[in-house]
Amino acid sequence: MRQVNVGIVGLGNIGTGTMTILAENADQIALKLGFPLKVTAVCDLLIDSKKIPEALGPVVRTANWREVTSDPNVDIVVELVGGTTVASEIIHAAIDNGKSVVTANKELMAACGPEIWDRAINAGVNVAMEASVCGGIPIHAVLREGISGDRIEAVYGILNGTSNFILTEVEKHGTALETVLAEAQRLGYAEADPSADVDGLDARSKLAILSALAFGAKITPSDIYVEGIRRITPTDFDYARQLGHTIRLLCAARQTPEGLILSVRPALIPLKTILAGVRGSYNAVWVKGHYGEDTFYYGRGAGPRPTGVAVVSDLMRVAREIRNGSPQRVSPFAHARLNEYKPVPVTIQRRAYYLRFRVKDRPGILATLAGILAQKKISLEAVLQQPYDDKSDLPFVITVEPASEQAIREAVEEMSKLDFLTQAPLALPMEPLL
């Protein structure tokens, strides 16, 4: 049976991992498919410095991606460049030339997925993007096919391995976040500019994709409320532990009577919940269904080999569909049927809150803070203060009973103006995850 030919554009970590799997696992892939999956062209701006596995055999090498997207011998183009500019051009050119596309580009697919799918549908080709979220966890397939018969009520996730590595290292060793971030950069977990990871932007793109799959709504990253992890300290983990909680960068999408509420932000989650045990660079997704109830998916969220597995698995699915004459068998988005999503602000929800203060110690501080909370109709639950030698920068915590998030924000804004504070209060929701 005729082989299906693949062209890979972008030979960074993921591209190299993908090539390695295709070379080393070629026999098993062919056995599972019933025909060979052959890399016939590769592209990278630094192509002369790239080592191509000998097991792939003769391969066209080029620094010009247009030679891959226009190559009549290429059936599927793999876009592993990243970003939203050149990557968009590559995908559009491939589709216009009648080629299906496999991509790991969460930023582009989160922002322009429906547009790309319109183009693919009109061209009669497929687009697959399993590797764009959660690395080696096949969460797209789960939401698109595995539990598509359910009505999803909520999706919770730890979707950024870098942030999770940083937080769990701060938790384990009591080391300042800035120090752990530097170590993550040294190990290659974090980029030189870590903003996309530590400020929650990478996770936001991933949640946009998962939410579109789970809820059938056209969602863009700008619809999602986002906060990063830069202000989390070892002290916060100490207090969280006293409260029976830990802290994670939690991605949450909830269906409520008011509508869909989306957020990416650090939150206190109970130690007894399964997400609390997700550590290091691992990712996890917890799906709450109406009929099937709870399902949980866990695995490596990044890395050349786990992500490469997702890319190769997409290649196998698309190749099979090409050979069977059904390139649009299952669309990632069911795009034509997606509903328009009207953002519902997170401020409408009610949550218990963790409020951490750093103050110049003096009488009357607690009374002043309690008075502001009372004005906003927020009830105190507990006050926690560990022994601390430096009375000029004293940390303590107030937890409050469930209250309007809007009221919490108003209270924090007013508290931030008080002259005894050494920094603005840190407010973290305490997620019940029920």
Percent of the chain exceeding pLDDT 90 equals 80
* Weakest mean pLDDT among 182-196, 212-226, 400-414: 182-196
Judged by average pLDDT, the poorest of 157-161, 237-241, 355-359, 385-389 is 385-389
* Sequence letter at residue 232: I
**Boundaries of CATH 3.40.50.720 in the chain?**
4-133+304-332
Residue 98 backbone class (left: φ over 0; alpha: ψ -120 to 50; beta: rest): left
End-to-end CA distance of the chain: 51
Residue 329: pLDDT above 80? Answer: no
- The C-alpha atoms of residue 239 and residue 386 are separated, in whole angstroms, by 9
- Looking at residue 217, what is its pLDDT? 82
Check pLDDT > 80 for residue 342.
Answer: no
Q: Which CATH class is domain 350-430?
A: alpha beta
144: closest CA among 155, 154, 130?
A: 130
**Where in the sequence of the chain do the CATH 3.30.360.10 domains occur?**
139-300
Q: How far apart are CA 335 and CA 218, in angstroms?
A: 8
What pLDDT was estimated at residue 340?
A: 65
Q: What is the CATH number of domain 4-133+304-332?
A: 3.40.50.720
The residues annotated with a catalytic role in the active site are: 206
335 or 245, which is more confident: 245
Dihedral pair phi/psi, residue 372, rounded to 5°: -65, -45
Supply the CATH classification number for the domain 139-300: 3.30.360.10
Q: Considering the chain, tell me which residue range(s) the CATH 3.30.70.260 domain(s) occupy.
A: 350-430
